[in-house]
Amino acid sequence: MKYQICVSGAASGATIEASHQLAFDLGKAIAKSGKTLMTGATVGLPWFAAQGAFSVKDRMGASIGFSPASSFREHVVVYKLPTVEFDYINFTGMAYVGRNVHLVRSSDAVITVGGRMGSLHEFATALESQKVVGVLLGSGGLADYIPTLLQNVEAPGTKNIIYDNSPERLVEKIIKALDAKYINFKHNGTDGNLTERYADWG
């Protein structure tokens, strides 16, 4: 299946220099697996993930950005965000907070690399939305603080969080978890098949 995997991480701060290669490798691994990379169409670690996806020759997976802006012009002029590394940009017009929710809710899985407060918002939204959640340990910031945070703050679905310090291994584990989650879902790509399934759901 063409899973949509979000990479969530810091747009600025100390983890950019320390973990940009890890974010790049995450995006590259997602694209090489034929899955769709989802990011906040922003700078910092998500941007490096988008660059990683774009570096894959003959990639099957797309790179999609969710912008806080309402138009291309606002995205570039007001928010000063990148455009080149995305096959498509969804201009949400929801500012950063609304963009974060829309991005997470549109993804099948969310991976945290590095991260600051915005990434914490996306992480919490992913847990509350029962998404498959991954954390790249060793990337600094929020990612390395999550185990301690969850020892002290009760949250749903924490036992199912996937941890690893290898971008490639983490992506493999995320895809395996998604395969298990959607094992009973079958779709041959035709509208007729979807119509039948909708009828079954009432």
Q: What is the pLDDT of residues 50-60, one digit of tens each?
A: 999 999 998 88
Q: Which CATH class is domain 4-200?
A: alpha beta
Residue 58, number of CB atoms within 10 A of its CB: 4
Both structure tokens of 166:
């290898």
Strands ordered across the beta sheet of 162-164: 88-91, 63-67, 36-39, 4-9, 109-113, 132-136, 162-164
Residues of the chain with pLDDT under 70: 187-202
The tokens describing 124, both together, are 């919490």
Q: Which amino acid is at 127?
A: L
Residues for the chain: how many in total? 202
Q: Model-level pTM greater than 0.75?
A: yes
**Angle 107-113-114 (CA atoms, 0-180°, nearest 5)?**
135
Cα separation, 104 vs 5, whole angstroms: 9
pLDDT digits (tens, 9 = 90+) for 17-43: 999 999 999 999 999 999 999 999 999
